[in-house]
Amino acid sequence: MVTYPRPPGNKVDALIRQFPDRSCWYYRRDPQSGKAAVVRCEAAGDQLRRPHTMTEDDRCLVLRSTAELLGLHDPWPVIEANQLKKVRRELRPFGGR
């Protein structure tokens, strides 16, 4: 099993093609109830392809994916870029870029 964080919607099909000999499953927790669900990617197509909607105030459980542990995926450039955007937004009222 190789776990990945949910990619942007336009990258889902390319990610699935990287592992043609494996089945794809989507694990999700309902944000209101916390109830977990696991469905085949084919059945979760709309959910997998929806835009990311987390805001800065949202909290989430972050588990290191096996893809990250195996060196197949590095989430940190995206995380660092998002943090930089947040800092820039906070500095704008003070003349920052």
- Position 83 scores a pLDDT of 67
- Position 10 scores a pLDDT of 82
Condensed to tens digits (0 to 9), the pLDDT of residues 56-97 reads 666 665 667 777 878 877 777 776 777 667 666 666 665 555
- Mean of per-residue pLDDT scores for the chain: 75
- Position 90 scores a pLDDT of 66
What average pLDDT does this structure show over 24-40? 83
Q: What percent of the chain has pLDDT over 70?
A: 69
What average pLDDT does this structure show over 39-55? 80
- For residue 87, the SS3 value is helix
Q: Looking at the predicted structure, is the pLDDT value of residue 48 above 70?
A: yes
